[in-house]
Amino acid sequence: MVENEEVGNYYENKDRFYVAVDCIIFGFHEDELKLLLIRRMFDPCKGELSLMGGFLNKGESIEAAAERVLQELTGLENVFMEQIGIFGEVNRDPGERVLSAAYYALINSDDYDKVLAESHHAVWVPMKDIPELIFDHNLMVMIALKQLKRKASVEPIGFNLLPQYFTLPQLQTLYEAIFGETLDKRNFRKKVLSMDVFEKTDEKDKSNSKRGAFYYRFDYDKYNALMQNGSHFAL
């Protein structure tokens, strides 16, 4: 056991590693959950599909790096993002030993900078059509989806995938896409509205029906107040 060593020496003989971040970027359109992937125009694995990634810089926290990488691709800031872990198998990147911290992000697919994304050769791929990705990216995606499923049922994060104003049919379709199962319309609405954190507007979305569906929005203030009192979000 090391004792009484000087601080300077302590770290000196340790190995140092490249550290990357990779972003699993979820979006929701056309009633489907999708990932924003990039076609790599550079080595290694030029031409293949991968998650958007980048290297951690000196003086930058890992979280900040993830935010930067997301921003580089989408132009977005202040996005819901959560770490799913670090991947550190020795040969996960065949080029060099690189560790990668994976984060998933939930974005509203209307908002991102399409020109910027295009310059990175980004494409939206439905979850059910995700092909083989480079390195261990498929594993990352799998774990991210699992975490999203769990978390979405217990915390109000799904809304990050929708515009501020959304209809209940839209919300239901979203949750069906996340959970991968169909839900009963009446039970779903009952549950949603019983939480009393959704504010109904007078506006209707008539793009999907003659009758139109009312727009709602999620009321974060009400939500926070309720959480204080020991309530819990559940869908």
Residues that bind its own copies (CB under 8 A): 1-7, 10-11, 14-19, 41-44, 55-63, 65, 83, 85-90, 95-99, 101, 119-120
Q: Strand pairing of 213-218 and 198-205? A: antiparallel
176, 183 in Cβ contact below 8 A? Answer: yes
Does 189 bind DNA (CB under 7 A)? Our answer is yes
Paired strand residues for 235? none
d(CA 23, CA 37): 9
Judged by CB under 7 A, the stretch of 30-38, 54-62, 127-135, 186-194 that binds DNA is: 186-194
85, 143 in Cβ contact below 8 A? Answer: yes
d(CA 27, CA 70): 13
Rank residues 16 and 210 by Cβ distance to DNA and give the closer one: 210
Residues 146-165 that bind DNA (CB under 7 A): none
Could you say which of 186, 202, 229, 230 contacts DNA (CB under 7 A)?
186
Does 39 bind DNA (CB under 7 A)? Our answer is no
Judged by CB under 7 A, the stretch of 3-11, 67-75, 79-87, 188-196 that binds DNA is: 188-196
125, 44 in Cβ contact below 8 A? Answer: no
Based on its alpha-carbon atoms, the radius of gyration of the chain, rounded to whole angstroms, reads 21
Contact partner, 132, from DNA, its own copies, none, Cβ < 5-8 Å per class: none
- Number of residues engaging DNA in binding (CB under 7 A): 19
Does 213 bind DNA (CB under 7 A)? Our answer is yes
Phi, psi of 23 (to 5 degrees): -110, 125
Judged by CB under 7 A, the stretch of 69-77, 116-124, 146-154, 204-212 that binds DNA is: 204-212
Rank residues 113 and 184 by Cβ distance to DNA and give the closer one: 184
Q: Is the peptide bond before 44 cis (omega within 30 degrees of 0)?
A: yes
Q: Provide the token pair at 37.
A: 């992937």
Sites of contact with DNA (CB under 7 A): 167-169, 184-187, 189-191, 206, 208-214, 234
